[in-house]
Amino acid sequence: MKLGDIGEFGFIDRIAPVGMVRPEGVIKGIGDDCAVMSLSGPEYLLVTTDLLVESVHFILDWAPAEIIGAKALTVNLSDIAACGGVPRDAFISIAIPPHIDLDWLDGLYRGLSDAARASSVNVLGGDTTRSKGHLVINVAVTGLVRPQEVLFRHTAAAGDIVVLTGPTGRSGAGCDLLLRGERRDDSSARSLIAAHLEPRAHLREARILAESGAATAAIDVSDGLSSDLAHLCKDSGLGAILREESIPVSPDLVRAGMELGKDPLDWVLHGGEDYVLLAAVKPEELTLIMETAARKGCTFFPIGEFVAGAGIELIRADGTRLPITPRGWDHFR
């Protein structure tokens, strides 16, 4: 059997059962944004790790080293955010091929450290080694969260509201512009490209969700809205209904869609790398949490609700119902 036959998530399902040999202290092992552990203290320890490979996850020509470094950290901070936590320390492993020079590496670490400082995260030990091929960066991040505030994927309930902490699709459109060699200097294109290259981890939004007690579950949108909603639905044993008219679509996206001949909704639903949070919120708490978010300078978007059953449906503006097949990112399909 080939890896392509079972896909990334099939592979994860395959390896997950063999790893757990000492269940004490493990609140959640494989299958959430972070591993969640109860060690010796009152707070849970969160651990997440992401491996980034040159020419798979980033293209050296697309951005200065600083921006690549910052994003390598951000994608991990986003996993801590998805669990409602506060990040603490980052550990960088890097395999350096001959075509990378010291100036570039200095830039990478400057970007990493600046992004870390902005979230009060230390960049501590790690591993530095040689590569014969591509540049490889692994970032592992630890965080802490109070047991009563941790957010999982498997705990949403039917009737909960599907809430986004920011618009999706902008990063996917920016990536497509880059892939097509777009270097237009209008502010609309620049803003989409920035959404792809310089995402922000929604750590503030995470704390609003976690502290409120209003959120029952969360995930970060890295594979794409459809895929990550499907993960959350599957793990919670639910389906979901999305309302097209409630889903934010920015004018930049409409403009890029016209230019590239693509339906903007495609990016919104399936784009990926948005690093906003997708949460399940108790319906009776929705108004209060929207107000809290607004007061703290954040915008939450209620885009639908979780329902009993399985599958995701989109109710279009004209009332027709469209089943949504997740087709976000799978590294092996």
Task: For the segment 6-65, give every residue that binds a second copy (CB under 8 A).
Answer: 6, 8, 11-12, 14-15, 18-22, 25-26, 29-32, 34-35, 37, 39-43, 45, 47-51, 53, 55-57
Q: How far is the CB of 276 from a second copy (least distance, A)?
A: 20
Sole binder of a second copy in the list 13, 59, 125, 263 (CB under 8 A) = 125
Rounded Cα gap, residues 292 and 298, in angstroms: 8
Question: What is residue 229's DSSP assignment?
Answer: H
Sole binder of a second copy in the list 60, 64, 107, 134 (CB under 8 A) = 134
- 259 contact partners, CB below 8 Å, separation of at least 6: none
**Is there binding between residue 211 and a second copy (CB under 8 A)?**
no
Question: Nearer Cβ to a second copy, position 32 or 244?
Answer: 32
| H or E stretch at 321 | strand 321-324
Q: How far is the CB of 137 from a second copy (least distance, A)?
A: 9
Q: How far is the CB of 200 from a second copy (least distance, A)?
A: 18
Question: Nearer Cβ to a second copy, position 152 or 300?
Answer: 152
- 85 contact partners, CB below 8 Å, separation of at least 6: 34, 44, 46, 143, 144, 145, 150, 206, 210
**Is there binding between residue 213 and a second copy (CB under 8 A)?**
no
**Is there binding between residue 128 and a second copy (CB under 8 A)?**
yes
Do 263 and 193 meet the contact criterion of CB atoms below 8 Å apart?
A: no
Sole binder of a second copy in the list 73, 82, 95, 314 (CB under 8 A) = 95
**Is there binding between residue 109 and a second copy (CB under 8 A)?**
yes
Vertex 236: Cα angle to 233 and 237 (nearest 5): 80
**Is there binding between residue 138 and a second copy (CB under 8 A)?**
yes
Question: Nearer Cβ to a second copy, position 135 or 195?
Answer: 135
Q: How far is the CB of 16 from a second copy (least distance, A)?
A: 9
**Is there binding between residue 99 and a second copy (CB under 8 A)?**
no
Name the H helices within the chain: 3-15, 65-82, 102-118, 170-179, 187-197, 203-212, 225-236, 251-260, 264-270, 286-295
Do 26 and 35 meet the contact criterion of CB atoms below 8 Å apart?
A: yes
Count of positions on this chain that bind a second copy (CB under 8 A): 80
Other beta carbons less than 10 A from residue 204's beta carbon = 16
- Sites for a second copy among residues 245-274 (CB under 8 A): none
Alpha-carbon Rg for the chain, nearest whole angstrom, is 20
